[in-house]
Structure 1
Amino acid sequence: MFSKAGFIFIAFASVTVQCIKHENLIIAVGDELEFLTDGSSYRTLTLDSYNATKLSALAYDATTRRLFFSDLRHRHGHIFSVSLDEESRRPVEDIVERNNNESVDSLAYDPVTKTLLWTDGINRSIRRFQIDYEHVHIDEKDGIEIVHFLENDANPQGLVSDPCTRMLYWTNIHSDRPSIERSLINGTQREIILYSDLLLPNAFDVDVVDQVIYWAEDLKNGHFRIQRSSVDGSETHIFYQGIGDFIVSLTVGDHYIYWSDYGHKKLWSLRKDGSSARPIILRTFRNPAMGVAVFRHQPLNCSLIMSNVHHQELAMENDSLIVTLMILTSLTIVAAVAILIFRFGRLIGCALPFSSNKTEGTFAFQSFQNPVPNNTYKMCERVI
């Protein structure tokens, strides 16, 4: 009976795992943007009146269904945007004009303040611009603010914003002191959350729902690893380690994480819960996929996420309280047992008043100068 029930449970769990679908993805590869639906069907996104060159970083806003992307070799612009609402016609808006002394390595978007943020590795800075959809086009020097200007030899790369906790995360691939850092989106309260055992954390993303960060690092001899930790840098561990080429981009969905490599030109996926035996290949491209983003149909529900974070904090507090109570209970039991043992030892070692004429082989701890009649004493004895 038990074996039959176990077989049914395993079969049901297997079917459940197989039924979990991949998220829909937007991919920047070469001079094209692609949609990948359910990890299998794909189509190219037609851009109206736009001559793309080498598309790179992506940031998607589910509230307005607008995609922001960078073009590394475009003659006129750094950052562009396109609405994904219309199927027939998609005009591309020029957001930030090109400046040869600046770069756009990663993009992030904050839907709360309608602010576009990006890392500039050439000038070791993180910049932002508040989008006004009535007057989208801006000059490179007009209205752009610097959120962070990092120290010498710093090189900010991956950038992610959390609209629910109002935090901004980024990787610093400093040649001597690589790190993962964060601050509030307005730039205050900057702190380094990870700096030990880091190589070059290039590809990077934040799981806002679970409050976990993921990053990929390339090791020696063609190996790489993907690590993850809590958003404060605690509980760091290796999520996956394998053989491959340079990891270009990484993004996190509800059930899977996705990454693309530079050498094999493939897009990979792996279950977040660790139930996958190995990653699977979703697509192979002619050019490396330089940017991957999850295409969400609904924006994140921050009330549910913050409630989940609050429940996790309460669970941690409850766990600490339970551990404390267990320790106090154990100490109380140990103390009670010790007292009982001590009293039992006293009862065994200490005789009640008794009569005895035998004094040979005994030693009295107390000397009685006035003997009690009939040789009756109350004393403790030990054998010599």
Structure 2
Amino acid sequence: MVLNDTRLFVILIISILMININYVISWDVAVTIGREIHFFSSDGTLVRKLTNQNATSFSSITYDDASHNIYLSDKKSKNGSIFVNNLQSNKNDMTTLFTKKNGSYIMGMIYDPLSKSLFWTNGKERAIFRFPVGTNVTLAKPEMVLNLTGEIPRGLTIDLCSRRLYWTNTNKSSSSISSSNIDGTNRTVIINDLYEPVAVAIDHRSAKLYWLDDVEGIHYKVEKSNLDGTNRETLVYQRHQQPFHIAIGRDKVYWTDWVYGGIWCIEKNMKLKDSPRLWKSFESQNIEGHPTGLVAHDNAGNVDCIMMTKAAENNNLMNEKKNTDYNQYDASDISIKENNSTSKLLKLCLNGGYYNEAKKACQCTQGYNGLHCEQSLCQNYCLHGECKVSANNTVQCDCVPEYSGIRCEKYICSDYCLNGGNCSVRQGEPFCSCQFSQGHRCEETNDITTICAAICATQIYQLNMSYINFCRCSERNSTNQEYNIFDYDSWVNLLITIFSIIVGILTIIVIILSYFVNKYRRRPRVKKRFVVSKSGITPLTSRPQLPDDHCEIMIENCCNMNICETPCFEPKLRSPQLNTKKKEDKNCLLDHVDGNNAC
């Protein structure tokens, strides 16, 4: 009974340990977004997410595979500059490892497992610092390893075998990638014809140096070279991205981009004509901030430096012999090589190939090529399907039903159904289940209200449809969303109505003002009737004596005392005169002239 209990206890402990181990190593790529860390598997599945409420915006990330500690830097938070979390704890709690007042401006950070120290670049102080993370971490202080006056350091990585640091200088007057010993000595510039190198990483499997260059204008580059800067090669040279950080996986190269808000990737053996693909997008997620720091689990573990050195030597040897035509060798050349230590390596043919003594080269079997038949034509070629080599040694892909394209790289449902339709694959063809429209791709609809309701409810904001410009969702990231319809015809009719009302009111005001202006500008008409003699001679102070010798005349606006007995004076004005006595005298005078003795 005791033995059985002991066995059960041991099995239970082993199970718990295996669960923890599997939980720790189940992720392949980790990325920081705002105050969050997302862990993904190689196929892009989210396996874990951590959040630090004390952080503001993480800028870089690095990982220790031995202790399972993940380190994060925050250049803006006042609660801490560097945080640490142990992935085995299965908790979101993060410990503040280092705090610096007024911000730390840490942009690039890397962990060194041999010295158990963190190295980081500080763009404000223009230096590289070292911070031990051993037992007395609370008492430790960062130590300046390199004073980079005149440079703006940003990206940082470490070669664990040669014990050298590599960093990028984003000062546009002297943009470069430099290297030094881990203690800051033997500093040298290895790449200098760059524009703005933002990130750098080392692939320990192939002994290659990768970096991102944010080229002037809208272009960017992904390049690689040997660790000494030789054999430089451009992998990607395209437009419309703002790269931030780079990480090297087992077969892929990943980098974060702020324009599309996601992670892009390429195959390590891709050619310049191949295009990168958007591996993961965070645009539609409710996350504050851009994807920044990036780390790949495959390249953060223990490094076999002996194998790495052999791989570097083999790569250099293959690069030297790659463009050589073995048919041009004569007997003397062959004899020299037979006495050389590399003769065995030259005759080494892999994957079933054999060494052709006549051609002095490896004859590869179907489906392989390379100097030593080491490259499979199907390696990483078909992204979502099975690779097959035809009789003429060409590669073909049998894609799974959901994908198409030469390399099975295109998801057939991608951007296929419009107006919120749901796409599914039926008999290898995309099929749309329309909710608010009709048609083969749900393209036929006239109900703009229903469309806007669907768009705002399902968080579809990048549909290939003309109606999207009319919908205005009040809260894009909420589940129950309100929406408004921007109808241009209604707005035009409303504006025309308002304009017509304003014009009508202004017209009425102009008419009323014109009336009153004309009224008050009119002078009073003063008329006077005179009885005069027909002979034309009549005293002004007497009437004609004979009844048949007179006639009457009418004079308007008469203002002559000699003729009309009416004095000249100004008519009534709009506003009453202050001198009321003068006005009354004028009225009395007029009344007296008319024969009304009212004064």
What amino acid sits opposite 2:256 in the alignment? S
Where does 1:288-303 land on structure 2 (aligned, <5 Å)?
A: 288-296=290-298, 298-303=301-306
User: Which residue matches 2:81?
Assistant: 78
Aligned to 1:147: 145
Larger radius of gyration: 2
Instruction: Give the TM-score taking structure 2 as reference length.
Output: 0.47
State the partner residue of 1:3.
none
1:51 corresponds to 2:30: no
- 1:319 CA drift (Å): 9.0
Deviation at 1:236, TM superposition (A): 1.3
Deviation at 1:72, TM superposition (A): 2.5
TM-score, normalised to structure 1, is 0.71
Q: Partner amino acid for 1:137?
A: T
Paired position in structure 1 for 2:255:
259
Tell me the distance in 2 between the aligned counterparts of 1:163 and 1:270.
24
Matched with 1:347 is none
Aligned to 1:207: 203
SS in 2 for 1:202: strand
Cα shift at 1:44: 4.3
Query: What secondary structure is seen at the aligned counterpart in 1 of 2:278?
Result: strand
1:224 matched to 2:220: yes
* 1:137 is aligned to 2:133: no
SS at match of 1:77: coil
Contact kept? 1:32, 1:44, Cα under 8 Å: no
1:38–1:158 distance in 2 versus 1, CA, 3 Å: same
- Specify the alignment match of 2:97 in structure 1: 95
Residue 277 of structure 1 is matched in structure 2 by: 274
What is the SS of the residue equivalent to 1:105? strand
Q: Do the aligned partners of residues 317 and 271 (structure 1) sit closer, same or farther apart at CA in structure 2, a change above 3 Å counting?
A: closer
CA contact (8 A) 1:263 1:288 kept: no
Say which SS state the counterpart of residue 251 (structure 1) adopts. strand
- Classify 1:51/1:143 alpha carbon distance in 2 versus 1 (closer, same or farther; 3 Å): closer
Task: Please tell me the root mean square deviation across aligned C-alpha atoms, in Å.
Answer: 2.9
Residue 127 of structure 2, aligned match among 125, 128, 135: 125
1:149 partner letter: N
Using the alignment, how far apart are the partners of 1:145 and 1:328 within structure 2?
Answer: 60
Change beyond 3 A, Cα 1:208–1:23: farther
The match for 1:334 is none
Cα separation, 1, equivalents of 2:89 and 2:119: 25
Structure with the bigger RCO (C-alpha within 8 Å, sep 6+) is: 1
Q: Which consecutive residues of structure 2, in runs of 5 or more, have no partner in the other structure?
A: 1-25, 284-288, 334-599
Question: 1:93 touches 1:137 (CA, 8 Å); kept in 2?
Answer: no
The answer as to whether partners of 1:93 and 1:136 remain within 8 angstroms in 2 is: no
Matches within 5 A, 1:136-175: 136-138=137-139, 142-152=140-150, 154-175=151-172
Matched residue of 2:81: which SS?
A: strand
Task: Give secondary structure in 1 for the equivalent of 2:196.
Answer: coil
Provide the secondary structure at the position in 2 that maps to 1:99.
coil
Between the aligned partners of 2:149 and 2:31, the Cα distance in structure 1 is 32
| Structure 1 unmatched runs, 5+ | 1-21, 331-384
Alpha-carbon distance in 1 for matches of 2:162, 2:310: 12
Deviation, 1:174, is 1.6
- Supply the distance in 2 between the matched residues of 1:219 and 1:245 (Cα, whole angstroms): 10
Normalized per residue, the structure richer in strand is 1
Equivalent in the alignment of 1:178: 175
* Structure 1 segments of 4+ aligned residues over 3 angstroms from their partners: 310-323, 325-330
Are 1:227 and 1:239, in contact at CA under 8 Å, matched by a contact in 2? yes
Q: Is the 8 A contact 1:204 1:213 kept in 2?
A: yes
- Corresponding residue of 1:37: 41
Q: Distance in 2 between matches of 1:34 and 1:50?
A: 15
Q: Report the alpha carbon displacement of residue 221 of structure 1 after superposing the two structures with TM.
A: 4.0
Deviation at 1:52, TM superposition (A): 2.6
Q: Deviations over 1:199-238 (max 9, x none)?
A: 0001221112212111112234422111111110111121
Helix, strand or coil for the counterpart of 2:89? coil
Question: Aligned residue for 1:24?
Answer: 28
Aligned partner letter, 2:124: I
Query: 1:315 deviation in Å?
Result: 6.0
